[in-house]
Structure 1
Amino acid sequence: MSVKTTKVIVCRSCGKVMKDPSDFASGDLAHELCSNCTDEFGVQKRYSQIVKETKEFLIKQLSISDIEAEKMAKENVAKMPIWAHRQEELLAKKKIIITDVGSTTTKALLLTRKDNKFIHTDVQYSPTTVEKPFEDVNIGVFKAIQKLEKATDISLLAIDSIESSLKFKDEVLYLSTSSAGGGLQILVIGLTMFDSASSGKRTAYGAGGVILDTFAIDDKRSSLEQMQAMGILHPDIILMAGGVNGGAVSSILRLGEILQLANPKPKFGEKDEIPLVFAGNEAAQTFIAGLFQKKFDLYIVPNIRPTLEEENLQPAREKIHKLFMENVMEQAPGYAKLKACVADDIIPTPTGVIRALQLVSESLEENIMAVDIGGATTDVFSNIMGDYFRTVSANYGMSYSISNVLKDSGKENLKKWLPENFDLNYALNYIGNKMLYPTFVPQNPHQLTIEHAIAREAISMSKQQHMQMNFNTKQVGFLDKLKSTRDDLEKITEAFYIEKALEAKKFHMHDINILIGSGGVPAHTENAQQALAIIYDGFRPEGITEIWKDRHFISPHLGKLSAIDETLASEILTKDCYDKIGICIRPMNKKWKDNLAVMDLEIDGETSQIKTGEVHYFSNDEGKDRAISIILHKGFFLNSETRNFKFSSDLPIFIDTCRELDFAKENNAMQLYELKDDPAPLENDYLGFTRKKTIKSGVQKHLVELPYEGTILAEIDDEV
């Protein structure tokens, strides 16, 4: 007699039995968590999110009070296996180490228990070891933790721990985030450049992709040129879109045939097939499956342009985002060994940052935008009226992607951030060498000035992508202007709309209350003024805005910690993570004229009149609280509510009343960069990175072949 057994899969968090693909996180049958316990990208929700959702469910089902529902929700969640286990594990530990393995730098944070409470103890840095000759991320982690041991005189690693095999003492809880391994390179194919190809680009950018090239039937290249261009690329993934649902399929299939003949090869030889995500006309899905199923790792998702007027980017973005995160983390050398050391899942660095941002915005109830400038990517996050958004600009970074920033911004935009008479050729050479040697650290004020200039452009372009991908803009109509309580302001500011099925929320840039800068550049400026200027110049806020910076760039660490203890993470975040570095005031007006009175300003009894075309920085070295009064003159606005402002603050005040950016005035007001002597030759600073090589002479042959037999139209000795 045979007995048939059935494997039962339960969610590691809540214990729910998972049977259908819809039960699993992101529809992934290999995932350990259910769809209820994870967000749209398959990452586990925070404790407070699960409590809130459970509370709302209980109120709806049982019609009980808010207080009673919250109590029941916390009791229910506390019984869930994963949360009960985490609290027990945390109580058993005396030290917590959290690392963030970045593309260029590995940062290690140490928390130690004192008086039955964990406190921030130290942060140490070490170069990330993904490049030759190391090619093992564990080495960089090991060295960063060794620095923690030396700085604090606390033993953390086990006696038998070595660089390539991390082991910790029993009293240590180890967690990590990671963004090592570089970005995901995507080839985008659409039917037309304006419609589906444009939607495809927004999808790829929003999911964190580096776009290698974009192809369409109207991209001004012949079929042969498209085929040749596709053939020399080595994408990690191909996104193909095109056609509205129910439309013609012939043009899509034509592009598919060109791709098939081009036969692009994977970046890494061990991969047999390149993943291809098809997000086009539903009527073409059967044909696409027949064309590509044996040649590519094919994924079919809903159409990103179901109609000419409608976009549906989210399903394709989620699929690509999932592949992006897997690619970034899994391909980092030594990642599998690191994964075996942690007490909880390693999460992507951007996920850690956005979780930290959620904690701050929920506690303050403010509209917040934040930027994280990394070596390979620049990520922008926002919390607007309770909705959270994130974009990964994988083309823009400070090391691996630094040349992409220069290419897309242009030399002139770089030059406007450099002091007068700065040698532009020196700046261009520095940027090229930084791309070749991404772990290089600036050695003098000139190099620091170049990196700050690039950071401003990276933030500016990433912010623009963030706004385009997440929000719609609409022309304000005549009747809307008449109905507006401050119609003058509506005429001069752009409105952004958060579109949802049943609602459309509107906001302006002057509604953003706090801007936060994270990453190596703002964290390691020479002074607070430089960090303030980088964040302000990159975002160009309007109205009154507080500027913060991530002091040690530990927001991803605390975002990860929130998965274990949300209260502890929130306390350290507000106390030890962020520095408030200034308040920026930038008024708005429709008609700017020279030497026009903008505002009457009073700071602790000292009054001054600010006129158009001026930049002022009122420092506060003593850090004392000051009473500030602003009375705006006619035609100028800081928000839509009032022209008179009174508040107190211990922060420096930065005021910009220039219609267009004037960096010379900003530099003079804040004394950002004083470059007296010319820098030493650039090659001197790179001696430790470059190896002496002998130049070999000889003949090099380069063979170019068509993917199919062609006709030679030239004779021997013809000039071609």
Structure 2
Amino acid sequence: MKIDILVAEIGSTTTVVNAFNGIDSSSPEFIGQGQAPTSVDQGDVNIGLKGAIDDMKKSLNIDDLEYGKLLATSSAAGGLRMTVHGLVYDMTVRAAKEAALGAGANLHQITAGKMRRTDVKKLKEINPNIILIAGGVDFGERDTALYNAEIIADLNLDIPVIYAGNVENQEEIREIFKEKQTELYIVDNVYPKIDQLNIEPTRKVIQDVFEEHIVHAPGMTRVRDMVSGSIMPTPGAVMQASKVLKDEIGDLVTLDVGGATTDVHSVTEGSDEVNRILISPEPVAKRTVEGDLGVYVNMENIVERIGKKDLAKRMNITEGEVEGLIDNHKPIPKSDDQKRFVEELTKEAVITSIRRHAGHFRDLYGPGGKKTVAEGKDLTKIRYIIGTGGALTRLPNRVSIMESISKNNKGNELFPGEYAKILVDNHYIMASLGVLSVEQPKAAVELLKKSLEIENIEICCKEE
């Protein structure tokens, strides 16, 4: 059997491959899926890749499989580990953080101001894949970014460094890293003016650097032997898919509830009314990751948030039965009680992560009286709430879980409204289509519409 494109999602524990045909036609197809344990610990991810392909061949009931191209996303070997070093936390540091998260990074260290010895010690212990230095608006403060660059350069680490700070420092930064083994990338300032974000150039470079240097991660040394196309961090691929889809159907938020984390990706400019009273700028495409909200690895954190007594009440069972579900918790729930248990965990993860991601109104009092301002990301113009990841694509009550978002608005929160339509990534291929969209955007959009069951959404939106 001949397949146009395979996309591998190389996870920390599982590698999944998705097959697509008709990529150059007006009606591309999702052919099938296979999975196998990721083989990072064996020093060669190709073992897991081949295992996943063999599993797909078995599910398709075929003996031979040829493919034109193999793309990949990866969260294996710790994913994209980054550290960010800026000037003022609420300004340049936050801008750099948004760029890194939007590219799919896992942030292991964030520093504001001049780095201390303890910061340097932690940086060396983290051994990140990429270091991002920012600081100062263009033609503003220069010294902090230069100081941090000198400190990092003196470590002479074999780690790529991206500089995205004050444009006046660019030549000096080049001199600082001139004779170091560190590979340096100079990008436009992420915060060129007060209240102005410019994170897209940095986000793109982060993903390019990740693709170029991923082969240095443990167990990933032979990844390029099989992957002939693009490689992206898995969360970055979900964001990319969300951005491409937003251009087609309108403002959206994508929720990815996993075993260890819950990711929220929103793509919206927000409303004019809120933007007029917004205290500080927000990126159009924003990602937040909640490391304490996972329905398997971090299950006990969510149970603690809900409380065993309330959880038993919600499920109409005894606290003893709740204890039994906790003690016998599995990555994939099988029984009805196990599914209901995970649904309650998922609902809590969804509401909490949206609450942390979204902004809110706040009243300020001064000599002129009360003034209402807005802080954080405005989701009030969201038209579509998309569920991806295992929980929100497989649980029986996944739609009602996402419908509960607007009902849990405390009144001052910038949540999506009740009119937002719920969509489900039924084929669980959003990350794969994100990386596919880099090379085949039209095919990726069509396949997204099919998985979300919205083939006619573009016509619908134009009629509105």
Q: Shorter-chain-normalised TM-score: which range?
A: 0.5 to 0.7
| Pairing 1:127–2:2 present | no
Partner of 1:178: 73
1:136–1:335 Cα contact (<8 Å) kept: yes
Name the amino acid aligned to 1:241: A
Partner of 1:578: 452
SS in 2 for 1:277: strand
CA distance, structure 1, for counterparts of residue 62 and residue 256 of structure 2: 31
Name the amino acid aligned to 1:370: T
Partner of 1:243: 136
For structure 2, list consecutive stretches of 5 or more residues without a partner in the other structure.
Answer: 271-282, 365-370, 409-414, 455-464
1:474–1:495 Cα contact (<8 Å) kept: yes
1:209–1:394 Cα contact (<8 Å) kept: no
SS in 2 for 1:543: coil
- Residue pairs, 1:18-417, within 5 angstroms: 95-96=3-4, 98-103=6-11, 104-110=13-19, 122-130=32-40, 132=41, 134-157=42-65, 168=66, 172-173=67-68, 175-181=70-76, 182-217=78-113, 223-256=116-149, 259=152, 263=155, 272-295=157-180, 296-327=182-213, 331=217, 333=219, 336=222, 340=226, 342=228, 345=230, 349=234, 353=238, 365-373=249-257, 378=263, 380-382=265-267, 390-393=285-288, 396=291, 411-412=304-305
Query: Residue 198 of structure 1: CA displacement?
Result: 3.0
Partner of 2:391: 521
CA distance, structure 2, for counterparts of residue 367 and residue 251 of structure 1: 37
- Post-superposition Cα deviations, 1:140-174, rounded to whole Å, max 9, x if no partner, equal 333333333333432234xxxxxxxxxx3xxx545
SS in 2 for 1:315: helix
- Post-superposition Cα deviations, 1:241-270, rounded to whole Å, max 9, x if no partner, equal 223444454455555565567x4x8xxxxx
1:418–1:449 Cα contact (<8 Å) kept: no
SS in 2 for 1:101: strand
CA distance, structure 2, for counterparts of residue 447 and residue 558 of structure 1: 30
Indicate how the Cα distance of structure 1 residues 496 and 511 shifts in structure 2: closer, same or farther if over 3 A, else same. farther
Partner of 1:542: 417
- Post-superposition Cα deviations, 1:536-565, rounded to whole Å, max 9, x if no partner, equal 449963222322212230234456666787
CA distance, structure 1, for counterparts of residue 373 and residue 122 of structure 2: 42
Indicate how the Cα distance of structure 1 residues 214 and 143 shifts in structure 2: closer, same or farther if over 3 A, else same. closer
Q: TM-score, normalised by structure 1?
A: 0.46
Partner of 1:555: 430
Name the amino acid aligned to 1:243: G
Query: Residue 522 of structure 1: CA displacement?
Result: 1.6
- Post-superposition Cα deviations, 1:399-436, rounded to whole Å, max 9, x if no partner, equal 79955x988x89436879844465899799989x99xx
2:210–2:233 Cα contact (<8 Å) kept: no
Name the amino acid aligned to 1:521: A
Query: Residue 441 of structure 1: CA displacement?
Result: 4.6
Indicate how the Cα distance of structure 1 residues 330 and 547 shifts in structure 2: closer, same or farther if over 3 A, else same. farther
Indicate how the Cα distance of structure 1 residues 325 and 520 shifts in structure 2: closer, same or farther if over 3 A, else same. farther
Indicate how the Cα distance of structure 1 residues 559 and 324 shifts in structure 2: closer, same or farther if over 3 A, else same. closer
CA distance, structure 2, for counterparts of residue 273 and residue 574 of structure 1: 42
Q: Which has more helix, going by share of residues?
A: 2
CA distance, structure 2, for counterparts of residue 568 and residue 248 of structure 1: 46
Instruction: State the identity as a percent.
Output: 25
CA distance, structure 1, for counterparts of residue 97 and residue 438 of structure 2: 33
Q: Which structure has more RCO (C-alpha within 8 Å, separation ≥ 6)? A: 2
SS in 2 for 1:544: coil
Indicate how the Cα distance of structure 1 residues 402 and 143 shifts in structure 2: closer, same or farther if over 3 A, else same. same
Name the amino acid aligned to 2:252: I
SS in 1 for 2:420: strand
1:107–1:126 Cα contact (<8 Å) kept: yes
SS in 2 for 1:515: strand
CA distance, structure 2, for counterparts of residue 367 and residue 286 of structure 1: 39
Structure showing greater Rg = 1
- Residue pairs, 1:284-683, within 5 angstroms: 284-295=169-180, 296-327=182-213, 331=217, 333=219, 336=222, 340=226, 342=228, 345=230, 349=234, 353=238, 365-373=249-257, 378=263, 380-382=265-267, 390-393=285-288, 396=291, 411-412=304-305, 418-420=311-313, 441=332, 452=343, 455-456=346-347, 459=350, 463=354, 509-525=379-395, 527=396, 529-533=397-401, 536-537=404-405, 541-558=416-433, 573-575=448-450, 577-578=451-452
SS in 1 for 2:162: strand
- Post-superposition Cα deviations, 1:269-321, rounded to whole Å, max 9, x if no partner, equal xxx52222233334444554444444543333333333444443333333323
**Cα RMSD for the two superposed structures:** 5.1
SS in 2 for 1:318: helix
Name the amino acid aligned to 2:198: N
CA distance, structure 1, for counterparts of residue 151 and residue 440 of structure 2: 53
Name which of structure 1's ranges 543-552 and 328-337 shifts more when overlaid on structure 2.
Answer: 328-337
Name the amino acid aligned to 2:103: A
Query: Residue 218 of structure 1: CA displacement?
Result: 8.5
CA distance, structure 1, for counterparts of residue 28 and residue 187 of structure 2: 45
Query: Residue 517 of structure 1: CA displacement?
Result: 0.5
Name the amino acid aligned to 1:183: G
- Post-superposition Cα deviations, 1:11-51, rounded to whole Å, max 9, x if no partner, equal xxxxxxxxxxxxxxxxxxxxxxxxxxxxxxxxxxxxxxxxx
Aligned length: 418
1:243–1:281 Cα contact (<8 Å) kept: yes
CA distance, structure 1, for counterparts of residue 358 and residue 427 of structure 2: 27
2:111–2:119 Cα contact (<8 Å) kept: yes
Q: TM-score, normalised by structure 2?
A: 0.67
For structure 1, list consecutive stretches of 5 or more residues without a partner in the other structure.
Answer: 1-92, 158-167, 266-271, 435-439, 477-490, 498-507, 581-720
CA distance, structure 1, for counterparts of residue 164 and residue 244 of structure 2: 35
